[in-house]
Structure 1
C-alpha cells in the first residue's frame, strides 16, 4: 500500500471536524473550570488516559495544534522542532488561540503543499495533517467527555471510518520498527459493520501492508461500527467483536 492520500471532499469534511470538535472541546473545558460538570476542576483524572489530568489533556492538544500549524506553514518536509510547552496560566485562552491559528492554517494552505509527517506511510502533504488533526480532536474530545462525566458524543460514521483507516494505514506502519510489530507475523481482518468498509492488515516482521477487502484466512478478526472501531484502535473502551488470536488484533492499536 502506497502513501495514503486525502481526497478533496474528505479534506473539507475533516477541516469542518477540526472546527466542530475543537470548539466542542473548548466549551466543555470552560464548563469544567466553571464547576458545571462532575469533574471538580482541571486536575480531575482522565479515565481513558490514566496518566493524564484534564489540564494535561488541554495542554497536549494546545501544544499539538501549534506544532501542526508550524508544520503546515513551513512548506517543507524537514523534521520540525518539538511541540511547545503549555503555559502555567491562561490555559483556556492559549488553547483557543492555538485552535484558531490551526484552522486558519488548514484552510489557507493548499492541501498538496509539502509537509513533514511522522509516518512513512502518509503523504508528505498538508492534506495528511487536516486528517490527523480531525481524528486527534475527536478521540481527545471523547476522553474529555468521560473525564467530565458527560455522555460520549458519537463520531460521524464517515469520519470514524476514516479515522480507523488512518490508524491502520498510517499509524500502525509508523510503529513497524518497534515491538510488538517489529517481530510479529499476523493477518487481521477489520470490518466496519455500519459503513461496510473492510480492511486486511498483514504484519510480517516489521513490514505492514493494508489492503481493501477481506483476504480470507486471518489470525484474528475485529468487527464493530466505525465509531467503536475508532475507539478500540486508539486503545479506548469500545463494544467490539474480536475472534481469533487476541495478540494479533492487539498489534493494530495506536500508541
Structure 2
C-alpha cells in the first residue's frame, strides 16, 4: 500500500468516526464536512492537472455539498487519482509550483502529505490522539516542507525581516536541515552552520510542528526565527 493509500484511508476512517458536524480543533473555522470537501476538491484539481499536463490553469470538478454525497464522490475521486498515479512516476503532469518536478512522482508525494496532515485534523476532531507517523515518512514530510512548501507561503518576501540560521534536527531519522534567513528573501537551505535557533525532536514531532499541529519538540535559541518556516 502506498503512502497516499494509507494516509487517505486513515483520514477517511477518522472523518467518518468524527461525523460531519464535528469541529476541527486545528482548523477552528472548519467542520469535518468542510475538511473532507476541501481534500476532495484538492484531489479533483490534481486530477485535472494530470489530465492536462501542459494546460495553463486546470480546474477540477467541485465536490457536492451534502455529506451523504461528499463521501462517495470523494471515494470515486480518490480511486481515480490512485489509478492515475499507477501510470508511472515520470508521467508528466501540470505542476503550478515551480520548486516541484512536473510529474506524477511529485504529485503523489504532495498528496500523501496533504492527506497525512488532514488525517491528524480528522483524528483530533474525533477526539482521538493524533497518530504517530513512521519515521521515514515524517522525515520526508520535513524535507518537503523545508525545501518546497515554505516557498509557497508567500509570493512576496520583501516584508520579512528575519536574519539568522535555523537548524532543524529530526533526531530518530538522523537528518539535519540548515536554513539561512535574510531580510526580503525566502529561507534557503545551506551547508552546516552555527544556528541561531534549533528545532529538534523525533521526525514525527518536527513534521507536525512545521505544519502547526500539536507536537512535543525542543526549541533552543531565537524562536521567532522559526516563523518564516511555517507552512501555508
TM-score, normalised by the number of residues in structure 1:
0.83
Aligned residue for 2:155?
177
**RMSD, matched Cα:** 2.0
Q: CA deviation at 1:148?
A: 0.4
Aligned residue for 1:210?
189
Question: Do 2:52 and 2:58's aligned partners in 1 also have CA atoms closer than 8 Å?
Answer: no
Question: Do 2:48 and 2:60's aligned partners in 1 also have CA atoms closer than 8 Å?
Answer: no
Question: Do 1:181 and 1:251's aligned partners in 2 also have CA atoms closer than 8 Å?
Answer: no
Aligned positions of 1:1-255 closer than 5 A: 16-32=2-18, 41-76=19-54, 78-89=55-66, 90-108=69-87, 110-175=88-153, 177-179=155-157, 182-204=160-182, 205-211=184-190, 215-255=192-232
**Number of residue equivalences:** 229
SS at match of 1:222: strand
Structure-2 separation of matches of 1:181 and 1:231: 26
SS at match of 1:242: strand
TM-score, normalised by the number of residues in structure 2:
0.90
Structure-1 separation of matches of 2:221 and 2:159: 18
Structure-1 separation of matches of 2:216 and 2:13: 28
Question: Do 1:169 and 1:210's aligned partners in 2 also have CA atoms closer than 8 Å?
Answer: yes
Q: CA deviation at 1:26?
A: 1.8
CA change 1:62–1:181 in 2 (3 A) is: farther
Structure-2 separation of matches of 1:21 and 1:233: 18
Question: Do 1:176 and 1:208's aligned partners in 2 also have CA atoms closer than 8 Å?
Answer: no
CA change 1:246–1:84 in 2 (3 A) is: farther
Question: Do 2:85 and 2:104's aligned partners in 1 also have CA atoms closer than 8 Å?
Answer: yes
Deviations 1:62-108, CA, capped at 9 Å, x for gaps: 111111122123222x4433444331221110111111111111112
Aligned residue for 1:10?
none
Gaps of 5+ in 1: 1-14, 33-40
Q: CA deviation at 1:61?
A: 0.6
After the TM superposition, list the runs of 4 or more consecutive aligned residues in structure 1 that deviate by more than 6 angstroms: none
Q: CA deviation at 1:146?
A: 0.4
Q: CA deviation at 1:144?
A: 0.3
Q: CA deviation at 1:223?
A: 0.2
CA change 1:226–1:181 in 2 (3 A) is: farther
SS at match of 2:2: helix
CA change 1:165–1:98 in 2 (3 A) is: same
Question: Do 1:161 and 1:227's aligned partners in 2 also have CA atoms closer than 8 Å?
Answer: yes
